Structure 1
């Protein structure tokens, strides 16, 4: 499979050929990649045959930690866990962060050095970690620690052709220090009976007399911090990439800011931060004429599905008013991303503020892209003209 280091041009062309000729493809690690929209949707919609519980084949995590990893749960455990964590991470909580997100964006842009800077370093990377850390109630002084943890996670999968086993083992090692930190924070909340932040609210959440254990709370908090941080960082960078490639769309958005939400949905379709998902076949199952054996890894390609001509008219065209736009950029079905509203809110506020602060914003050097696992930029120099 081609890498993402060229920004995706080669892999998108390769995926188009796979959709046409080999809609299900087995790689050297015996993982089965699924490329067409309808087939990806079928995998996402059938947890009985395509399990999310990949931890059962890779017991590098303990049972208690696995039980709190929301993306790796199947029904009915998934529903119970999602109901518990949803009590703390509510739409009201997210919406209440709007003024603070605006303040953080404003301060980060005010601190930007001169008329040229690394957009990832200056805004896309620090914004989500500050917001999520504040939601969790984590000390601002520990942001550098969180950055180190996220850096480790962002480096996973950089080696071409790494097996799923190796990737999961790397995740376990990369998150160990963060888990220990958050576990201590949870115990502190329990001792004080504090519910003033999301971490405390998670510790107090209750369903039918059942609460999450300390380790389960810490595990979900780590998931929120890591995946929420990475998603928004990549989404912000991908937004600038799409607008830089499509100046007419940028001009329309500048003239009519009501187009921002729909434009961001098109960014998520065009450049989804997480290009694929992972499931395990629970039985022998046939997709597009290919028999996938039980216990095989199944990799639904979100990136390919979002570019499938069978679903989207002119999929390579960046259409900020595409309707309908039923992309898989935030997942699908029971595993639709719980943090999607926060990622959307942060990116919407940031884009509006960027257009207010800068009358011109251009990518001024070739971006450096993540090689695999994540679809987006590591470094991106921009030149700006302030309003």
Structure 2
């Protein structure tokens, strides 16, 4: 029988790494940052400057690093307030502070067993395996420097944890309340996430993942689950039981001849307007914080499209450093620590898909270009 989680002992872990995407913090950072993101693809600087135009609209600064600083501080405060003695570090895949530097600091501080919180809630190559590939690369670099060996484990996907779903539901209610009263009850919910190639979506998740039973693979199935859970919470709070909702996509960046997940949020808003919807709420369930793909793709492009159509829209906030989310991270840390010590504990998850696996299979979310070593897998 699983036990209720009561211990605040993080053993065998002695550090937590907050691992994120990273972003530029000055105009001169934009092209070098995009070179890091697209490394190995041979994209010319002129094209990268064009791609980076949305960063220049915001002074060349992505909000993501400051948001990660806020989350880092919130995690440290939550841990200290609940007696969890575990240092928290921060590293990025594509910009300072870099992942390899964070791991080097962890090793030099004497830590050896590291848990990793990636700022992505879902299964998929870009959201999970690529982070683990970057971890493997960084660990190999540290071995070459003669530093002590680190063992790194990644926290499970948290998309259906109440500490993620609850804040998203409340943010959706707050966004609904911003709409004029006469259109509020008829407003549609547009749950948004990053579009990915269809081939990547179809291979997302472990081969034996229950979510793979849903067409579209784990990436789509997990997002649909969160959308359903949030929509049900909104219905219960508002008394509008039959409010239509749909999962839609944004931030496509690939070649036009390669099929990606659709519909795009702007196309969806146009379809809602044509169908006579009185208003819409955009709910960015695919993102942990209000970074550039939220600020530009939703708050700038999608809002401009809605204004062109004359369709009232609002946008729900992301979870950010919500205290319920930081508490969820603490619970996930202690859950994984207990499992590593051989203790069976209750694994908190809402909905029908259950708690995600702790350790990824080798066949999880394969690299779309070429196989590469990945950390934290069977």
What TM-score, normalized to structure 2?
A: 0.27
Higher helix share: 1
